[in-house]
DNA sequence: TATTCGACCATTTTACTTATTTAGTCGAAT
DNA sequence: ATTCGACTAAATAAGTAAAATGGTCGAATA
């Protein structure tokens, strides 16, 4: 017997899959209901509206990224390795999640406020994770950073900048090349004085 | 008496202005003709099609950026200053050109091939400009870079990543903050060993 | 009590037809 | 060499009726 939250999660996963094909507008509640093997009204028992399901999917996407980043962090041992793993895990996870963002391209503007809200929240968390890595590296003697807080913001900002072309379905093939560049910047810097 | 190329340039400038409001599809040749104070057929005397005008506008946008970068380069004296001026000039120019790219959002996919072609060409030139700055800095003793070629690609890639949010009309207010981060990365590096 | 369901409604979207606009042409005028 | 008005075929917008869709409700089920 599944409890309420488990059913909700199942529905969210099903919806995530469907939204990833043709976006928000072109997905119907009937589709979600059928794919969830439920009556439409049952879906409405768990979620108040299509919008609410959509928002749950967006949160799910964000939490998947977060989970992958935490996993990468735990697997790596040294701070330098953590940094590298973070960058790689982030980009490869975003590559997977890109389906969804690419599909909701047309619906993006009408959900901008919510999506930005979620992303800002998770950005803060990512910056915090990054700063922890950097602080550990400094204590470790592996890194030499003046302002870890600013550096964390700089790195996460750069990573966010890199992910966007992914969403719009361009230049995916260039991902590895871009990653090399980013890691090169982070590890060797570009201009040393 | 204006010669042919001057008239063409006038038309392109007028068209650039009009395309920047509502994009490609929602702009009519009659509008362009009226705004150019010409008959529609006269426009067709100078350009074979609406598409051709549009492409000329795209090239114009790219060449404006290039001109601004060259100007910034000439004004700065030291390589470090050139680097900083390049970044600032690029972002502030892109902020101005963002109108256009923001307006053609809906038409972007149908002109993707041409736009990408133009951008790739100018990217190459920008990377070359950047490498010249870096090489000069190394000779100067101001910079210490292992691979100036790779560094140039890395910097330009990072700048390109940063410009995209601008096109979609988001986070413009964060531009200065983002710029600070980028300059911080470039000048101080992030992780020094 | 917690959950599922079918029947139902108001609103939105689609499919289709018709009217208008638009990209592009052509021959004459300057 | 350049401009223009009149013209056409094709694309787009406007209008409308039919279908689909988001969401509700009360009864049924477990």
- Measured from Cα to the C1' atom, the residue closest to D11 is B25
Query: How far apart, in Å, are the Cα atoms of A143 and each of A39, A183, B65, B182?
Result: 57, 14, 37, 19
**Residue of B93, B25, B92 whose CA lies nearest to B60:** B93
Residue B131, pLDDT > 70, answer yes
Residue range(s) defining the domain that contains residue B63: 51-188
Asked, for residue A136, whether it belongs to a domain, the answer is yes
Considering the domain boundaries, does residue A110 fall inside one? yes
- ipTM, two decimals, is 0.73
> Quick one: pLDDT band at residue B1, thresholds 50, 70, 90?
very low
CA of A4 to C1' of D13 (A): 48
Assess if residue A2 is contained within a domain: no
Confidence of residue B190 (pLDDT cuts 50, 70, 90): low
pLDDT of B85 higher than 60:
yes
A98 CA from C9 C1′ (Å): 38
Q: Tell me, yes or no, whether B97 lies in a domain.
A: yes
Which has the minimum average pLDDT: A117-121, B3-7, B95-99, B166-170? B166-170
- Count Cβ atoms within 10 A of the Cβ of residue B19 and give its class: 0-12 exposed, 13-18 middle, 19 or more buried: buried
pLDDT at residue B171, rounded to an integer: 54
Chain-chain contact of A193 with B185 (C-beta, under 8 angstroms): no
Is any atom of strand D within 7 angstroms of residue B42's beta carbon? yes
pLDDT of res. B121: 92
Instruction: Please indicate, yes or no, if residue A168 is contained in any of the structural domains.
Output: yes
Q: Residue A164 falls within a domain, yes or no?
A: yes
B50 Cβ contacts chain C strand, under 7 Å: yes
Residues 6+ apart with CB under 8 A from A2: A10
Mean residue pLDDT across chain B: 86
Tell me the pLDDT tens digit for each residue of B90-118: 988 998 888 898 888 888 878 988 988 99
CATH code of the domain in which A167 resides: 1.10.357.10
- Per-residue confidence band for A193, with pLDDT thresholds at 50, 70 and 90: very low
- Find chain B residues with C-beta within 8 A of A189's C-beta: 185, 188-192
> Got the DSSP string for B60-111?
HHHHHHHHHHHHHHHH--SHHHHHHHHHHHHHHHHHHHHHHHHHTGGGTGGG
Domain count, chain A: 1
Give contacts of A164 with chain B, Cβ < 8 Å.
Answer: 161, 164-165
Residue A75 lies in a domain: yes
B30 in any annotated domain: no
Q: Which residues are CB-neighbours of A59 under 8 A, at least 6 positions away?
A: A118
pLDDT digits (tens, 9 = 90+) for B162-186: 776 666 555 555 677 777 777 777 7
Of A125-139, B11-25, B143-157, the poorest mean pLDDT is in: B143-157
pLDDT, chain A, mean? 86
B185: closest CA among A188, A125, A160, A143? A188
Residue B86: both structure tokens together: 């390049």
């Amino acid at each position: 017997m599944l409890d309420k939250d488990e059913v909700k999660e199942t529905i969210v996963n099903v919806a995530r899959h469907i939204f990833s094909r043709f976006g928000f507008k072109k997905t119907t509640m009937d589709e979600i209901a059928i794919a969830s093997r439920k009556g439409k009204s049952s879906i409405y028992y768990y979620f108040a509206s299509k919008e609410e399901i959509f928002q749950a999917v967006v949160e799910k996407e964000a939490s998947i990224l977060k989970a992958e980043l935490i996993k990468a962090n735990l697997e790596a041992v040294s701070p330098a390795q953590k940094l590298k793993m973070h960058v790689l895990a982030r980009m490869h996870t975003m590559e997977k999640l890109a389906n969804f963002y690419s599909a909701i391209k047309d619906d993006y503007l009408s959900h901008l406020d919510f999506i930005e809200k979620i992303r800002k929240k998770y950005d803060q968390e990512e910056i915090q994770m990054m700063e922890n890595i950097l602080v550990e590296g400094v204590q470790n003697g592996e890194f030499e950073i003046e302002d870890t807080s600013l550096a964390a913001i700089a790195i996460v900002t750069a990573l966010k900048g890199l992910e966007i072309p992914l969403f719009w379905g361009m230049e995916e093939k260039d991902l590895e090349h871009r990653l090399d560049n980013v890691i090169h910047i982070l590890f060797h810097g570009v201009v040393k004085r």
